[in-house]
Chain A
């Protein structure tokens, strides 16, 4: 009898933990949508921030800035990440590969703020000013290990027989890797890239002292640039209600951008635009 009571109690406790974990998720999402929807309007998406006290204004420059920084990061991070992934899967079945694999896993755990310091001392200190470029470098460094590991896992899922079939036809190794193995794994690799992208898209800490933020439009890559997460942070810790409202709107836009980018690529992959297999 006692054992049965313990059994039921434990089942009850397990259900309770599930409820306790799901509750904050629902709370965060519902409140985000509730506060965000009410605050997004056309001005928010097309104007730059207004000075304190003036109502209105928006985050258009921050949205564009985020896109700029993420483009820079993707251009630098994705090729290197996929290259390292190919190395791990095709050339790294040895001790050296194990070392790189372990370093990738460990680098995934390095706090993003530390990456920010490194980008600061690599780019900002040398250029002598904050820039979109520095922000892009910081985010690119964060993307490489994640992309490398997911690419490797996806390439390893491609059956060895397919590679051998290509070799048997006299296709060289590099052609096999690029047009057979990588192409077969395309959708998986892209999913991995999007995961890395979504992870860095919301990052704030590495941008604090690299991209720095900007209240105005900026089209130069070597000048301080606004970014959506930075703007949300600045507004959230400010004492002004109007800015709080905009922080919620910014948060909703950020989530929509991340989810939108990820699902757009997924749909494109599924419907054959980029499909390899």
Chain B
């Protein structure tokens, strides 16, 4: 019995019944190494806990919807659907219409897309189809770096660099060459819709181009080879073999960019001028749904005023949810089944 002095291996298993052992000399030990009783309850608890965490995400969305709806009731009852078609925004008389902000959001986002889409698709095409291998990494890294810059720093840069450039060079040039369209008239302040659209476009380029790149890299190699074998030049190959196949995914990427542009707040607030008006000229100042929230929310006095602002928030939320859901579905339809990289 000398081995009793040695420490036993510390399993949580109960001591085997020594007396029983001596009676039955040959018997396979069929009990699991760790008895079921010990591991089943923690397992169930852990599973439950993780499921609760998953549920929390759903609950979070529910909570957001509930809070926004509950707190905007006052304004909804006061104005109804008219809220979205009325352009009068007057806190003093408690009369609120969101049209100028909706207009500002749409115009600035469209302007941003107009500038950003050709650039980001161009970068994606260059990186996946044309660039020498060693350039691929640095270019992707740098476009991704653009996404890491906080919005407020974009705004800061826009105020002190972009706006003066617009005021002194670009706006006078546009006014003389394209002034007849009516889009580029009025005094060139620098700040205004054009500045907002331009800074937005810089901000949404990373997301559009990184997702487009992902979508393009999913196009099978033999498509390219097939088109090239028919005697196409490289551009014809890209146009017919690559872009055409990736269409749905690219549209999805653009819509994701749109979703980002619609909700972007700080940089826009800093350069758009914050005046609730609807002007044809892009030089004019304006306001967007997000920027009016940033500007007026903390100083909103009166329940109807606050409620009207929250209703704008609710509308913005619903629009971005729809836009994002649509975009996700379109990107998924192309990249489905592939281990997609994280899209932050």
Does chain A have a CB within 8 A of B152?
yes
Distance, CA A229 to CA B290, complexed state (A): 17
Chain B residues lying within 8 Å of A270, measured Cβ to Cβ, are none
Chain B residues lying within 8 Å of A171, measured Cβ to Cβ, are 34
Distance, CA A111 to CA B152, complexed state (A): 14
Per-residue 0/1 for B25-61: is the Cβ within 8 Å of any A Cβ (1 yes, 0 no)?
Answer: 0000000111000110011011101111111111011
Per-residue 0/1 for A39-50: is the Cβ within 8 Å of any B Cβ (1 yes, 0 no)?
Answer: 000000000000
Chain A residues lying within 8 Å of B139, measured Cβ to Cβ, are 18, 22
Does chain B have a CB within 8 A of A60?
no
Chain B residues lying within 8 Å of A56, measured Cβ to Cβ, are none
Distance, CA A249 to CA B130, complexed state (A): 39
Chain B residues lying within 8 Å of A208, measured Cβ to Cβ, are 294, 297-298
Interface positions of B (Cβ within 8 A of A): 32-34, 38-39, 42-43, 45-47, 49-58, 60-61, 63-64, 67-68, 70-71, 118-123, 125-127, 130, 139, 142-143, 145-146, 148-157, 159-161, 202, 205, 209, 233-236, 238, 256, 259-260, 262-266, 270, 290, 293-294, 297-298, 310, 313, 316-317, 320-321, 323-325, 328, 339, 342, 344
Distance, CA A24 to CA B148, complexed state (A): 14
B64 to chain A, nearest CB (A): 5
Q: Is the CB of B152 within 8 A of A229?
A: yes
Q: Is the CB of B54 within 8 A of A121?
A: no
Q: Give how many A-B residue pairs fall within 8 Å (CB-CB).
A: 268
Interface residues on A, range: 35 or more
Q: A100-B58, A103-B58, A203-B150 are in contact. List 18 more A-B contacts (CB 8 A).
A: A7-B235, A7-B236, A14-B126, A25-B142, A27-B157, A31-B157, A83-B49, A83-B52, A111-B316, A111-B317, A113-B265, A113-B313, A170-B33, A174-B47, A178-B46, A202-B153, A208-B294, A258-B150
Chain A residues lying within 8 Å of B153, measured Cβ to Cβ, are 28, 32, 202, 232, 251, 254-255
Q: Is the CB of A110 within 8 A of B263?
A: yes
Segment 65-98 of A: residues with Cβ below 8 Å from B: 80, 83-84, 86-88, 90-92, 96-97
A115 (CB) vs chain B CBs: closest residue: B64
Segment 120-172 of A: residues with Cβ below 8 Å from B: 120-122, 141, 144-146, 148-150, 153, 156-157, 169-172
Q: Is the CB of A4 within 8 A of B233?
A: yes
Does chain B have a CB within 8 A of A52?
no
Distance, CA A198 to CA B152, complexed state (A): 14
Q: Is the CB of B47 within 8 A of A144?
A: no
Q: Is the CB of A109 within 8 A of B161?
A: no
When the two chains form the complex, which single residue of B50, B51, B156, B235 contacts A11, counting CB atoms closer than 8 Å?
Answer: B235
Q: Label chain A's interface by main secondary structure.
A: helix
Q: Is the CB of A92 within 8 A of B54?
A: yes
Distance, CA A237 to CA B291, complexed state (A): 14
19 A-B contacts (beta carbon < 8 Å): A6-B235, A17-B118, A18-B122, A20-B119, A24-B202, A83-B53, A86-B50, A108-B324, A109-B256, A110-B320, A112-B265, A148-B57, A156-B339, A170-B32, A172-B34, A172-B42, A174-B43, A202-B151, A232-B153
B32 (CB) vs chain A CBs: closest residue: A170
B260 (CB) vs chain A CBs: closest residue: A109
Distance, CA A205 to CA B288, complexed state (A): 14
Distance, CA A212 to CA B294, complexed state (A): 11
Distance, CA A244 to CA B164, complexed state (A): 15
Q: Is the CB of B313 within 8 A of A236?
A: no
Chain A residues lying within 8 Å of B159, measured Cβ to Cβ, are 236-237
Chain A residues lying within 8 Å of B45, measured Cβ to Cβ, are 174
B266 (CB) vs chain A CBs: closest residue: A204
Q: Is the CB of B60 within 8 A of A113?
A: no
Instruction: Evaluate whether A83 and B50 lie within 8 angstroms (CB atoms) in the complex, with A13-B122, A170-B32, A255-B149 already known.
Output: yes
Chain A residues lying within 8 Å of B202, measured Cβ to Cβ, are 24
Interface positions of A (Cβ within 8 A of B): 3-4, 6-7, 10-11, 13-18, 20-22, 24-25, 27-28, 31-32, 80, 83-84, 86-88, 90-92, 96-97, 99-100, 102-118, 120-122, 141, 144-146, 148-150, 153, 156-157, 169-174, 177-178, 192, 195-196, 198-199, 201-205, 208-209, 212, 229, 232-233, 236-237, 244, 247-248, 251, 254-255, 258
Find the residue from A150, A171, A202 having the highest chain B CB count within 10 A: A202
A199 to chain B, nearest CB (A): 7
When the two chains form the complex, which single residue of B61, B121, B148 contacts A107, counting CB atoms closer than 8 Å?
Answer: B61
Q: Is the CB of A11 within 8 A of B130?
A: yes
Closest 9 A-B residue pairs measured CB to CB?
Answer: A202-B150, A111-B263, A17-B122, A83-B53, A174-B46, A109-B324, A87-B54, A172-B39, A14-B126
Q: Is the CB of B67 within 8 A of A122?
A: yes
Find the residue from A149, A196, A233 having the highest chain B CB count within 10 A: A233
Instruction: Evaluate whether A114 and B53 lie within 8 angstroms (CB atoms) in the complex, with A11-B130, A107-B61, A198-B148 already known.
Output: no
Q: Is the CB of B43 within 8 A of A173?
A: yes
Distance, CA A110 to CA B57, complexed state (A): 13
Distance, CA A97 to CA B57, complexed state (A): 11
Q: Is the CB of B293 within 8 A of A117?
A: yes
Distance, CA A205 to CA B266, complexed state (A): 6
